[in-house]
Structures are given as C-alpha cells and as structure tokens.
Structure 1
Amino acid sequence: MRVLLLTITLLLSHWSPAAAADGYPSQRITVIAPFAPGSGTDGVARIVFQRLSELLKTTIIIDNRVGANGALGATAAARSAPDGYTLLVGGTSTHAANPSLLKSIQYDPIADFAPISQFGLFPYFLIVDPGLPVKSVADLVALAKSKPGTLTFGYANALGQLSGEAFKRRAGIDIAAVPYRNSPQVVTDIIAQRVSMTFMDMAPAVSQVEAGQARALATTNPDRASLFPDIPTMKEGGLAFINISAWSGLFGPKDTPPEIVARLAEGVREVLAEPEIRKRLADIGFEAQWIGPAEFAKHVKDDMDLWATTTREAGIERQ
C-alpha cells in the first residue's frame, strides 16, 4: 500500500500544472477557428499564429470547424484536454452572442473556457450591392420604404444578424433576412446582386470594396474607424444605431494551467506589438488591441451581458 501511495504521489507530481508548463510547448498546437477560411476570424488567426509558432518554436495548425454560428468549433474546444495543445480563436459570436441567440448550445462561454488574451477588434460596416441607387444610409432607408419586402440582408454570424434586425427596427423598414454559412459567400452574392446588403467586418470584403464591386455605406461604430476614415458612421447617415463591433481572442479549455495561459498571453502580446504584424492585420480591417487574461475575462462577461440586453431590444428570438 505504501508503495502504491508513493507511486500515485510521484505521478501527480509529474502531471501537475506547473510541471506540464515547464516544457511547454513540446508538441504541435492546434487552434480551432470556428469560421470558414477567408473569414475575418480565420484571417487574424493565420497572421497571429504564423508568427507565434516562430516565437514558441513549435508548429501551430489552424483547424476550421464551421457551423452553428461558431458553436460547433467552440464546443469541440471546450471538450478538449486542458493541456494547452488545443485552443480556440473565439469572439463576439461564440462568447457573447450565442447564449442570447441559440436555444441550446453545448458549452458555457464562461465556465468552460480559460480566457488567454484579446487580439483586437473588427469595426463593422453596412455594405451594399453597388447596383442599388443609393449613396448614403438615408438613401437606402428611403429605397427600402418605397419597395417594402423587396430588399434583403445577408448574414453569416451573430453580429450580422443583430445588425440587420436592429436596422429594420430603427429605420422602420421591411427587409428580409437571408442566412449564410460564411461571410465570403455573402460577399459573393452582394457582387452577384443576389442579396441587397449585409453588415460585416471588412476582412472578407476589403478588396471588393476597394475595387468598387461592393459599396461600404457606413460603420456601425460610434466613431469613424481609424482604418477606414472616409466611411461615415450610421449616425452621420441619419440613423441612431447600436454600437456594434466584433472582437477576437484566444481561449483554452477550462483548467488550462495558469502557467500555460500566461505563456501564451505573453507570446500573443509580443506578436501584436510587432509593427509588421499590426500592418498585416490592418490590411484586412483589424485593429490590434491586446489585453491579458484577467481583463479579457471581464470583457467577455460584460459583452455577454450587453448582448442579452441588445438582442431583447432588437426583438430577436432564440433559434
């Protein structure tokens, strides 16, 4: 019995969180991205983790698990071993909006995750079919009122859905919602004039907007986005609007050792401090803003509470 107890003690010592973190990372890291290749989340992940893999001297692969507004990938990450080798690039959809939009999700955004760090923010924009005879938000509202039920808005995530529904209510217009599996598909249909408008971050559409294949009418943020200063706000366009932007950040499963969380958070901080990385992120419409584990955890909780209020006000029912 004494030998057995000694053996158990030695095993527990060997597998303690501190011991696990000492040699971290010692193998490949998988980062689950819960949205499609070409989406803003995926783009940020590939830029950040390519450089982080160099700093940590290990291979980091991106695993796109698409579906259920990011819930599919988040669930997979929540159920993985808390050893720092399976992580999640989460964001507003997975950790703030889903509890208010989905009737049943298989994870708890707070209890099932260890927040590591925020990467930054995606300003959100109203993007329209350039064939529409509109040059401002006021023009778009007038067109929608003149042709009730004929215009459509596409969305591929929670923010797009909330923005479209809020737009309908605040402008007093009748436009139909069209759900999509991912944001690049929405952009494709904007260009093909199969859908009238969308609300999204600029990452999937920046090249199309610059080429004139899609038109950005306004940002949903209270101030003009520093990366796109020529695009007015919704308020400047004559419509008071809710402040909508998308944040992105890194999570581990609950019980991920604090030492590993700290090591990853510091690595991300170093990556986001590099001017070349910040420029590459800016090129896809992302504003790098690092915050560490404790502040990030508070931000997630506050944003989840905000979404609960905002979705009620927008009249969105859980699906």
Structure 2
Amino acid sequence: MAKRVFKRNDDPAVITRQSLRNYYTLKYFNLFMNAYKFTNLDYQQKDFLLRKMWSIGRLACFRLANPTEKHPQGEVVFCPFATAELNIYDYPVKVSLIKLKNVSFIPTSLQVVDKDVVIGFAQRNKHSVYEMVMTLVEKIVDVEMTLRTALKSQKTPWLVAYTPETEQQKNIIKNNLESDEPYLFLESDDVNQFKALVSGANYNCDKLYNLKQCYENEIKEYLGINNLGINEKKEHLIGDEINVNQEIVESHGECFLDCLKEFCERIKEVLGYDIQVELNKPDSIEYNEDIEEEENQDDPSIQ
C-alpha cells in the first residue's frame, strides 16, 4: 500500500488566517466557559459539561450505582450520546452512551431517556455553541485579513525613478526632505525628470475595525455577554437604545441558562441529584452623565 504524504502549508497568509481563527475561537470559548456557576458539581464536572455543550451541544447524565464517601447515593456522570430511537415529537426516547475513555462503568446497552439517563441540550435548536459562533468568527477573520492588507498598503514606500544624470539632484532633494526643509526648489526641467510611484490605497482601516467590532458584538450578544464596550461613544447611544440592547443580550443569555436549568431540573427529578446553575455576572458599572459632564468641565483639554 502506497504511503500517504501530507505536506504542511507554509504559506504565511494561511498560517496567519489559522492563527486568527484559533485566537477568536479560544477567546469566545473562554467567555462561554466563565459565564455559568454550578452547585454540587466539582471543577472537573463543570469543565467537562460546558466544554461538551460548546463543542457538541448535548450531553447525557446518569448516576453510578456504587456509592462513595463523597457521594453516598452515587456520583452523577456526564457522557455524550447518540440517538437510537425517536418518538412522534422527534425527541430521543432511547440513546446509546458514547465512551470517550475505555472505562467499564459506562453502560453499553440502550438507555431509556428520563428513566435510565437524562439528556440536555445547550440551546433550543440542539446545535453546538461552537457551530453558531464559528459562522461569525470566519467573518471576523476575513475582516482581519483585509485589515492586514490595508495596513500593509499604508506602509508602501515612495518609489522615485531617476536617471544617472539626475542622481546628484536626487540626493539634494532627498537630503532636504530628511532635514524637514519647508521649501524645495527645482529647475523647471528637473521637475519632469523625476517620477514618483505611490500605492494610491485609501485609508479605510477605521471602517474595517468598526466592521470587526460589529461582528464581535454579534457574538457577544448571541452568548448573552454585554457588548457595550469602551469603543461605543455616548453621543451615539441614548437610554432607550442601551435598555433595548441590554434586553436582547439578557434574552440570549437566558436561552442558554433556561436549557441548562431544565437539564438540572430533570436530573433532580429523575436521578435525585440536586444541581443549581446561574449566570456568572460580573459587577456592572452604571453610567452617570452628570458625573462625566462635571469631569469634562474640569478638564481644560475638553472644550
């Protein structure tokens, strides 16, 4: 059998694109992982649950029959599953648990949902969080690559063509420019001897950056994370707009939270293990226009 040879792509553009994709994927993965707090789950169980909700969007939970000192009634175990049978509402009623490790305590037979196991989903559409986020991450990467090209176009140096006969005059002009001379005097014949080549690229980096921020705000809104960052100018936002934006963000956050709460409630009802989940909200900073106006009046640089 012939050997298959895989060659690594050393194209700088491909490497840069992949690095940007990894950066933004990990950035929003971290935000999602830190968005929820659980009770009665240790750090390993919480980490596994949220990682799988991010990557595959669903998990099964069952309870071990063997009691331990820490869990006298048996420890709960989270595990990926494959649907084996659906009811008339297209909801799984029998599932097969997937072994990620070669362990003996994961059942190999079909498990009845809401009897042997409880299943839960990250969101109502039953897709993974990763799948939804990556759609916008790809757009962000495209903008970043365009921004990278735009920045490089601004670095294109001036190219001045001259002849051997005009080299001496060229040196004089060059020295005058580097000396910041306010005036340059050339003979009328010399003007036509030099030709300057420039890139002609317009400066649009600020527009590209704003577009990138819009895509990032969409991801934060989807994840239920406050997207009114320091880049938002207060004159562009009024109280009603801020309130509407906050309501949308909270609604998206509750979509994930409600699914996790329902998962935990069914675990308590079927397996008898109480798990509580809530949003891990950071302390918010309220905006006060009166205080900022007073600070601006005291600052002589703001007129």
TM-score normalised by the chain length of structure 1: 0.27
Rg larger in 1 or in 2? Answer: 2
TM-score normalised by the chain length of structure 2: 0.28
